């Protein structure tokens, strides 16, 4: 029998943080709302009681979810039963930030001053488990809009802006939140929500460690975070010993290729509809002829773990999400990030004077770089691409993920030159870079451009001496950011880099403003000037 651990939060701020940091790792995490509420959850989401499926999964139950489920079973038999009223009586929204005076942009502020003021608006603090929201010991910055959690890869780009604004205390707090989640869950989930605990996001943790090391000192910081770097690495490599008996030599997030090389894929530990997008996933699976629904759900979930949710990168038919097959693909960007993760662990061991383990992880990184060159470089396209290990050939979906080998410094000079030429020829638009060359209505396809991809592209091109192109991309991206800010007094989640108004679109939800990683990247770029 598992005992439920509970505690009262003391008034002292430091005691609160300490208590969550320690006792919080022992507390049992609630079930995801879809698992706890059963039929009620499916009916609410399927019938679209709320326009946005994320609204319901973020509500907090007023009593135990099992009790609500039992009450629903009885109440639904009443001819006058009102589902919307039932939900409103049994759940509430946890949004203390909405109690503050509504934020209004001061149009007289420069964009730098605007970003500075936004950090306080985007700050959240939650030290109690509330519904699907998992308690964290320290304050954190959220993306904004419909997102009120500390997301994984968003946070790195948010931290770039916080660093430009010298908010190192916030960065350290967010890092400690991540180490808390690694201790509690064994990895960094998409965000601190129970319905995100079966998947992660692009692994930028090693980049966060490097960023913080630049402020606190390399040896001290690398030594402090080495145990967490190792734990995060074990998560991504879990199942390596089971590959021999696995279908297609793939297990969880690890794939063994024909020549014995190991690379990784995006995955998810569940094969059910995403709770926050249940209605959309049910529709996709139902319309996917001759496909097992659980496989469709796995590929949709893996696409969500990629951060590119969704993009023609993951489709067999680039115009049709029903052909999604994310888990069949070895993504070039993911493996570049894991190369950097391995290299960071190697560097940490060198700094603490452990040459044996430093060589071990540097060898792993070097092998991965060779594998990326072997499987993710297309001589035909003269471009880095993703690899379909089920079909034993590249996907030939051309995307901005190709800049990651430049960012990770594993491209040759000749390859980098070819990638730069293709970017200048095909990806560069008046407002910056499109994510892909396909217009599909998905948000991670043309004509949208995204802040994190611009940062990776600019940095990657600089590594290989393409400063003129990098500066041109920077100028165009900043121009569209500033144009929308001047006209709308907003910094938005994504931008249409081809249109006059610059506002991005597509995807499963409306355009969000606020916006964490846009603020962060723009602040970092402005700080360079």
> In angstroms, rounded to a whole number, what is the distance separating the alpha carbons of residues 449 and 435?
6
Cis peptide before 285 (omega within 30 of 0): no
Say which of 232, 276, 280, 493 is annotated catalytic.
Answer: 493
Distances in Å between the Cα of 388 and the Cα atoms of 316, 385, 392, 394, 445 are: 10, 10, 6, 6, 19
Residues constituting the chain: 529
For the chain, how far is it from start to end, CA to CA, in angstroms?
A: 60
CB 275 within 8 A of CB 45: yes
* Radius of gyration of the CA atoms of the chain, in A: 23
Spatial separation of the C-alpha atoms in residues 54 and 275, rounded to whole Å = 8
**DSSP β-bridge partners for residue 256:** 262
Q: Distance of CA 60 to CAs 120, 276, 405, 407, Å?
A: 24, 14, 43, 41
Sheet with strand 262-264: strands edge to edge: 250-251, 254-256, 262-264
Contact 230, 223 (CB under 8 A): no
How far CA 32 is from CA of 4, 41, 271, 306, in Å, comes to 16, 10, 14, 21
CB 477 within 8 A of CB 454: yes
Catalytic residue status for 493: yes
Catalytic-residue membership of 366: no
Please tell me which residue in 58, 309, 318, 342 is annotated as part of the active site: 309
- Dihedral sign computed on CA atoms, order 60, 62, 67, 70: negative
Catalytic center residues? 309, 493
């Amino acid at each position: 029998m598992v005992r439920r651990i509970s505690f009262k939060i003391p008034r002292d701020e430091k005691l609160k943080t300490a208590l969550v940091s320690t006792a919080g790792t022992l507390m049992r995490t609630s079930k995801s709302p879809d698992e706890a509420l059963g039929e009620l959850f499916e009916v609410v989401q399927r019938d679209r009681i709320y326009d946005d499926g994320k609204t319901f999964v973020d509500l907090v139950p007023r009593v135990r979810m099992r009790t609500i489920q039992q009450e629903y079973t009885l109440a639904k038999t009443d001819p006058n039963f009102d589902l919307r009223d039932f939900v409103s009586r049994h759940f509430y929204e946890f949004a203390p930030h909405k109690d503050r005076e509504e934020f209004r942009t001061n149009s007289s502020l420069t964009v730098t001053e605007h970003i500075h003021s936004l950090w306080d608006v985007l700050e959240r603090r939650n030290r109690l488990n509330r519904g699907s929201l998992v308690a964290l010991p320290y304050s954190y910055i959220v993306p904004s809009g419909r997102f009120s959690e500390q997301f994984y890869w968003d946070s790195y780009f948010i931290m770039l802006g916080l660093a430009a604004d010298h908010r190192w205390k916030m960065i350290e707090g967010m890092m400690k939140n991540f180490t808390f989640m690694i201790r509690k869950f064994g990895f960094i989930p998409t965000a601190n929500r129970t319905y995100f605990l079966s998947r992660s996001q692009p692994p930028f943790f090693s980049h966060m460690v490097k960023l913080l090391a630049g402020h606190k000192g390399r040896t001290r910081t690398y030594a402090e975070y080495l145990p967490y770097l190792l734990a995060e690495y074990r998560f991504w490599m879990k199942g390596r010993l089971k590959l021999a008996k696995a279908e297609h030599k793939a297990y969880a997030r690890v794939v063994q290729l024909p020549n014995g090389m190991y690379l990784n894929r995006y995955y998810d530990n569940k094969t059910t509809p995403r709770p926050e997008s249940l209605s959309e996933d049910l529709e996709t699976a139902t319309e996917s002829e001759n496909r097992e629904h659980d496989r469709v759900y796995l590929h949709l979930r893996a696409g969500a773990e990629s951060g590119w949710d969704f993009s023609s990168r993951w489709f067999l038919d680039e115009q049709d999400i029903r052909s999604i097959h994310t888990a069949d693909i070895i993504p070039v960007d993911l493996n570049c990030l894991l190369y950097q993760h391995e290299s960071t662990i190697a560097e940490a061991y060198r700094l603490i004077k452990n040459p044996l383990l430093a060589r071990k992880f540097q060898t792993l990184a070097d092998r991965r770089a060779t594998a990326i060159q072997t499987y993710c470089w297309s001589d035909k396209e003269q471009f880095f691409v993703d690899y379909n290990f089920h079909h034993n050939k590249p996907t030939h979906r051309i995307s901005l993920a190709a800049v990651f080998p430049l960012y990770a410094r594993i491209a040759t000079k000749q390859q980098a030159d070819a990638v730069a030429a293709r970017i200048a020829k095909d990806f560069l638009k008046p407002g910056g870079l499109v994510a892909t060359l396909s217009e599909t209505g998905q948000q991670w396809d043309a004509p949208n451009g995204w802040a994190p991809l611009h940062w990776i592209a600019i940095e990657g091109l600089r590594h290989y001496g393409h400063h003129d192109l990098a500066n041109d991309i920077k100028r165009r991206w900043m121009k569209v950011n500033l144009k929308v800010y001047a006209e709308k007094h907003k910094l938005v989640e994504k931008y249409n880099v081809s249109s006059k108004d610059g506002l991005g679109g597509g995807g499963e939800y409306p355009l969000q403003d606020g916006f964490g990683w846009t603020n962060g990247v723009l602040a970092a770029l402005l700080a360079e000037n």
